[in-house]
Amino acid sequence: MATNPSLVSVETGSGRFQQTVRVGEHVFLADEPVSFGGADSGPSPYDLLLAALGTCTSMTMKMYADRKGIPLESVYIVLEHSREHVDDCSTCNNEDNRIDVIDRSITLYGNLSDAQRQNLLEIAEKCPVHRTLENRIDIHTTEVRD
């Protein structure tokens, strides 16, 4: 099967949760941790979601810094996903008033002024994956039969 770099395919692997993920020429495993009944043979789905946001954030900041001549040497990002219960949640789209929260901590390396640091943190908020996650997302599912 030919793959397109803009397409991701996922296929059941071995074990309870393991999946084989194909992205263009790249192939890797995804799984759940042992504590959730998986074999921990790869990142979990939420790990991959956080990785998408972290990599896009870092790439966007570095690209912006390079274009503007900002002496950003490197970026280190730590992300964590959690769910919070909110008593009065007018924007929640579920019955139990829970919202997903992603905490993102960014460390910038380089001889940067306070203004440059602030500018880069503003750019972090504009990375494409960040914008996608903040938008309404419609997922369309179609069954394909062989």
Q: Are residues 61 and 120 in the same domain?
A: yes
User: Is a pLDDT exceeding 50 seen at residue 1?
Assistant: no
Q: What angle do CA 37, 47, 29 make, to 5 degrees?
A: 65
Residue 124 lies in a domain: yes
Q: How far apart are CA 68 and CA 82, in angstroms?
A: 35
Q: Are residues 48 and 102 in the same domain?
A: yes
Residue 52 lies in a domain: yes
Within a 10 A sphere around the Cβ of 40, how many other Cβ atoms?
16
Residue 110 lies in a domain: yes
- The tokens of 85 are what? 């219960």
Q: Are residues 69 and 81 in the same domain?
A: yes
Backbone angles phi, psi at 64, to 5 degrees: -65, -45
Residue 146 lies in a domain: no
User: What's this model's pTM, rounded to 2 decimal places?
Assistant: 0.85
Q: Are residues 22 and 38 in the same domain?
A: yes
Q: Are residues 9 and 67 in the same domain?
A: no
Average confidence score pLDDT of the chain? 90
Q: For the segment 19-46, what is each residue's pLDDT rounded down to a tens digit? A: 999 998 999 999 999 999 999 999 999 9
Sign of CA dihedral 21, 32, 102, 140: positive
Q: Are residues 55 and 116 in the same domain?
A: yes
Q: For the segment 72-91, what is each residue's pLDDT rounded down to a tens digit? A: 999 999 999 998 766 655 55
pLDDT attached to residue 92:
55
